């Protein structure tokens, strides 16, 4: 069979020969991120429906001139009763790695294309000073790209004003310096003239020599003249100089336009550009894990906010994620982690499509300051909410928020796998080529691609499916490419992929589990050879309680059975199973223990709890749990009752069930791949699994051990029990 088909396909205007391609080199990778989403056709279909509804909503708002109310900052904004209709929204639920965030990013790219086609314009948002009520800054919205022009125009206007102001101030300063200098010069000139008059002993106006005044004391004479002359010259000059010093100090504090406030912002009346869509690309804002201030905007605290010396209120406004995502995608992963307060505020955003920016966090350090009193006019925030989470989010998302999503949007389940078809195997080639281009890796050979597809099938735990959890597969692709590069090769080969799978690309939980099993395995008494009475090997899994990772484990199960006869007439029979989960733990195995008793009663007509002394022990085990040990215990008791040895090179797993129509069925269990690999590692020749599991999940080509399906207990006994005439123990 040709794994990828035999036809040629046109991909991105290029022909690709699926029958004869040798590697992923030159595979045409699409530039459209939506084409990168693989195996999520249903989710994409729902996304497209929501996008059509979203574009229809924006077109109607455009026709109704809904945005006109925001073009003028002095114009009243729409009231809540006239806001845009809510919705649509998306909530993507699924396991990690299935492409939820990729869909969110791809939708924003698709929106940009639709906006261009429908002539829907994105918007810039500008925050203006409110001269009447400074604590209520005004808001205006403009077509994308206009915001920068408006800001530039206002800055030029402000600079012109400041320039004229600086010119005027400098002119006054220079004039005052000149006048002060004249006064100072005049003062010194008059004092010099008085000294000359004293030296020549000039006559006073009363006809007396100067040196006869003040008893001929020159100092007293000059001091009297300094006071009279200084009052008219030095005093005005000094007052002018003090005024110049005051002007300089005030200029440094911003009164003359040179002050620095929050983030170095000038104390200016120029509006602040808070949402920039000049690139004209539909916004994609990842708000995962953000708090209230980041989500809904905030007002910065300025330590110099009193007396008009700090940054004006409108310059301290910062837009939130919901405002920056206006007309775009607001993506919130792990949406269940939103606090109740944040969820309630988000409801306002979703319902009204507008939200004022104010201080929302009392833990911001600005509590009790003027920043708490600042609140802008409503700011438009019509965002397309795309929430994401695991399936456990259903019960943890705020009920009111979940109700809005159900009412105005859609909740979509992400697929964990897709059908194992030629078309989907080709999509795996696409996935590999995408990662090769993204990380600049070596191309993958056809055989290496086949091995990655096989690994995708194994990870789906279904024979006819492929996993869509691609994020863990990325590590596999990168590691295999690195191994090939280290060898100096030009193409990644199958062996590199196998080495990456077996040795390099395991989660830390799986590494820890395998290490624990390896350490414990050195102490286990497991010998998969020969035949024994009263001993059988079962395969189980050990699961990490946090990540769900599993690794296989082999259990040695031993049994003791003695019939209760006359000499034991005074003693009641018993049925004990040790090595299993104790009371108070989950005890899923308790049902299997009870069913084994009923199955034996149905098959042999004996009650092992009344007519026998029965003890089954999971040797060297502790707290074994789960239903898959049921068939193991049943085969062990059948061996003891029939006196037939059990093949020790055969391991078993399966859930035993009560007989219907004299047929004792063995039904499916979990963790088959890990169980079979454990039996393979320990050297068993065969492993018997439920027929349902075999049909659903198992491809024998994945294992070197023989995997045999069993539908009923008889199928298991046929493979496990040795007939007396063939029992080597009996013939000796």
| Cβ–Cβ < 8 Å for 658, 602 | yes
Q: What is the 3-state secondary structure (H, E, C) of 163-209?
A: HHHHHHHHHHHHHHHHHHHHHHHHHHHHHHHHHHHHHCCCECCCCCE
Strands 574-578 and 612-619: parallel
Catalytic residue among 465, 628, 639, 697: 628
3-state class (DSSP) for residue 701: helix
Is 628 part of the annotated catalytic residue set?
yes
Q: By C-alpha distance, which of 278, 351, 357 is closest to 316?
A: 357
- 8-state DSSP, 83: S
The dihedral through the CA atoms of 351, 354, 360, 364 has a sign that is positive
Laid out side by side, the sheet with 535-543 consists of: 574-578, 612-619, 550-563, 535-543, 650-652, 686-690, 706-710
- Cα 362 to Cα 558: distance, rounded to the nearest angstrom: 65
Three-state secondary structure call for residue 139: strand
Catalytic annotation present for 675: yes
CA distance 127 to 134: 12
Decide the pairing of beta strands 284-286 and 329-332: parallel
Provide the β-strand partners of residue 444.
492
- Alpha carbons within 13 A on the beta-carbon side of 42: 13
- φ, ψ (nearest 5 deg) of residue 125: -125, 130
Which residues share a beta bridge with 617?
A: 558, 578
E strand or H helix at 705, and its extent? none
Alpha-carbon radius of gyration of the chain: 43
Query: Comparing C-alpha atoms, which of 671, 655, 639 is closest to residue 710?
Result: 655
**The two three-digit tokens of residue 57, written as one number:** 């909503």
**Which among 342, 343, 346, 340 is positioned nearest to 325, based on CA atoms?**
346
Mode of pairing for the β-strands spanning 317-318 and 329-332: unpaired
First to last CA, the chain: 50
What DSSP character marks residue 500? I
Number of H helices, E strands in the chain: 20, 27
Q: Which two tokens stand for residue 611?
A: 């007519």
Strand partners, 330: 285, 385
- 67 is written with which tokens? 């945005």
- Residues pairing with 331 in the sheet: 286, 386
d(CA 266, CA 146): 22
Q: CB–CB of 343/298 below 8 Å?
A: no
CA-to-CA distance for 115 and 111, rounded, in angstroms?
6
In the 8-state DSSP scheme, what is residue 660?
Answer: B
Contact (Cβ atoms closer than 8 angstroms) between residue 51 and residue 103: no
CB 455 within 8 A of CB 497: yes
The catalytically annotated residue of 101, 675, 677, 697 is: 675
Nearest CA to 453 out of 106, 39, 20, 102 is that of 39
Token readout for 450 is 């086949």
- Please tell me the distance from the alpha carbon of residue 489 to that of residue 484, in angstroms, as a whole number: 6
Number of CB atoms found within 10 A of residue 552's CB: 25
Q: Which residue, among 176, 147, 381, 388, has the nearest Cα to 272 in the 3D structure?
A: 147
204 secondary structure, DSSP code = -
Kindly list the catalytic residues: 628, 675
């Amino acid at each position: 069979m040709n794994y990828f088909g035999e036809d040629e396909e046109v991909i991105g205007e290029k022909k690709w020969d699926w029958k004869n391609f040798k590697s992923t080199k030159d595979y045409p990778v699409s530039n459209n991120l939506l084409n990168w989403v693989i195996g999520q056709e249903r989710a994409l279909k729902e996304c497209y429906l929501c996008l059509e509804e979203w574009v229809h909503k924006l077109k109607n708002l455009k026709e109704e001139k809904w945005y006109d109310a925001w073009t003028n900052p002095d114009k009243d904004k729409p009231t809540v009763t006239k806001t845009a209709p809510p919705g649509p929204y998306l909530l993507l639920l699924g396991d990690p790695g299935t492409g939820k965030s990729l869909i969110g990013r791809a939708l924003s790219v698709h929106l940009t294309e639709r906006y261009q086609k429908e002539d829907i314009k994105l918007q810039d948002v500008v925050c203006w000073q409110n001269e009447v009520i400074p604590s209520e800054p005004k808001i205006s919205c403009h077509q994308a790209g206009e915001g920068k022009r408006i800001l530039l125009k206002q800055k030029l206007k402000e600079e012109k004003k400041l320039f004229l102001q600086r010119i005027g101030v400098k002119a006054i300063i220079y004039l005052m310096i000149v006048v002060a200098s004249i006064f100072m010069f005049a003062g010194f000139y008059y004092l010099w003239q008085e000294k000359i008059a004293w030296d020549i002993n000039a006559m006073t106006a009363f006809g007396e020599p100067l040196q006869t005044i003040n008893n001929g004391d020159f100092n007293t004479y000059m001091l009297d003249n300094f006071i009279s002359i200084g009052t008219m010259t030095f005093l005005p000059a000094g007052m002018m100089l003090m005024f110049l010093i005051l002007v300089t100090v005030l200029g440094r504090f911003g009164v003359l336009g040179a002050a620095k406030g929050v983030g170095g912002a000038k104390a200016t009346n120029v509006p602040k550009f808070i949402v920039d869509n000049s690139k004209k690309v539909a916004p994609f804002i990842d708000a995962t894990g953000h708090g209230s201030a980041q989500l809904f905007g905030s007002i910065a605290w300025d330590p110099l906010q009193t007396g008009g010396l700090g940054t004006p209120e409108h310059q301290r406004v910062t837009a939130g994620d919901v405002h920056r995502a206006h007309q775009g995608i607001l993506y919130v992963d792990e949406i269940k982690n939103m606090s109740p307060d944040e969820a309630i505020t988000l409801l306002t955003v979703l319902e009204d499509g507008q939200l004022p920016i104010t201080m929302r966090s009392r833990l911001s350090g600005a509590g009790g300051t003027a920043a708490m009193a600042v609140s802008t006019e409503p700011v438009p925030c019509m965002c397309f909410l795309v929430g994401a989470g695991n399936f456990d989010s259903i019960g943890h998302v705020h009920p009111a928020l979940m109700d809005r999503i159900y009412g105005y949007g859609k909740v979509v389940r992400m697929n964990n796998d897709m059908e194992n078809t030629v078309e989907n195997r080709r999509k795996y080639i696409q996935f590999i080529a995408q990662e090769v281009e993204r990380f600049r890796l070596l191309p993958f050979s056809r055989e290496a691609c086949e091995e990655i597809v096989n690994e995708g099938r194994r990870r789906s735990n279904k024979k006819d499916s492929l996993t869509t959890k691609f994020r863990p597969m990325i590590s596999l692709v990168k590691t295999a490419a690195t191994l090939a590069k280290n060898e100096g090769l030009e193409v990644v080969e199958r062996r590199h992929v196998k080495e990456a799978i077996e040795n390099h690309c395991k989660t830390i939980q799986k590494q820890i589990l395998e290490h624990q099993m390896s350490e414990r395995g050195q102490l286990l008494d497991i010998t998969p050879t020969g035949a024994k009475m009263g001993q059988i090997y079962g395969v189980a899994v050990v699961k990490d309680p946090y990540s769900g990772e599993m690794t296989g484990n082999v259990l040695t199960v031993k049994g003791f059975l003695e019939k209760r006869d006359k000499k034991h007439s005074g003693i009641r029979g018993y049925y004990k199973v040790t090595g299993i989960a104790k009371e108070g733990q989950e005890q899923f195995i308790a049902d299997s223990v009870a069913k084994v008793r009923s199955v034996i009663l149905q098959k042999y007509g004996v009650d092992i709890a009344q007519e026998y002394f029965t003890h089954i022990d999971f040797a060297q085990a502790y707290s074994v749990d789960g239903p898959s040990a049921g068939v193991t215990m049943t085969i062990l008791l059948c061996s003891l009752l029939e006196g037939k040895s059990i093949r020790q090179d055969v391991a078993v797993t399966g859930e035993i069930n009560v007989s219907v129509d004299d047929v004792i069925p063995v039904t499916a269990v979990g963790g088959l791949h890990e169980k079979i690999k454990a039996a393979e590692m320990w050297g068993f020749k065969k492993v018997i699994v439920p027929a349902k599991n075999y049909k659903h999940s198992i491809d024998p080509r994945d294992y070197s051990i023989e995997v045999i399906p069993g539908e009923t207990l008889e199928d298991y006994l046929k493979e496990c029990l040795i007939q007396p005439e063939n029992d080597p123990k009996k013939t000796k």
